[in-house]
Structure 1
Amino acid sequence: MDETWVKAYQSSQAIRAEIARELLEQGGIAAVIMNKKDSSYPVFGMYEVHVPASELSQAQIILTNEDAIKESE
């Protein structure tokens, strides 16, 4: 069973990506964090939360309604 995974969320902060992953897991959606940070220059890159493509719309609804993961400006 090979399913395509897509990016549902990204953040420059690991904790926000972890919160997003946990919210999705609580909502019954499998999620994984991919660390796309540059190991030599950590200001470049993001933490990405990926979900199965079939669950993307539900994941976006869950994440859109959650204030805890919104980036501060």
Structure 2
Amino acid sequence: MEKGWIKIKSYNNAIESEIVKQMLEENGVEAVLLNKQDSSYLFGKIELYVPQEHVQEAEALIGDYGTTSYNPEDAN
């Protein structure tokens, strides 16, 4: 991942992660998903990254969407 991108959320569900990514992009926040799930058994996480300067805006939008907001534990 390039410098300046911050992981703000991890998902187990690919559909939910795509919905959140699309919602962020529709609101002018660039977002990238990094799928770390095993392709056969679908265990692992899908990580959502946004540019550092949009972290607060993304957190607010995700909170409004109804999911939990940024958890520092997710970033590790």
Structures share fold, TM-score greater than 0.5: yes
Q: TM-score range by the shorter chain?
A: 0.7 to 0.9
Partner of 1:47: 46
Partner SS, residue 7 of structure 2: strand
Task: Give TM-score scaled by structure 2 length.
Answer: 0.75
Partner SS, residue 65 of structure 1: helix
Gaps of at least 5 residues in structure 2 are 69-76
Partner of 2:5: 5
Counterpart of 2:30, as a letter, is A
Structure index of larger Rg: 1
Partner of 2:20: 20
Partner of 1:62: 61
CA distance in 2, matches of 1:28, 1:40: 34
Task: Give TM-score scaled by structure 1 length.
Answer: 0.78
Root-mean-square deviation over aligned CA pairs? 1.9
Report sequence identity in percent. Answer: 33
CA distance in 2, matches of 1:51, 1:18: 14
CA distance in 2, matches of 1:19, 1:64: 14
Alpha-carbon shift at residue 8 of structure 1 (Å): 1.9
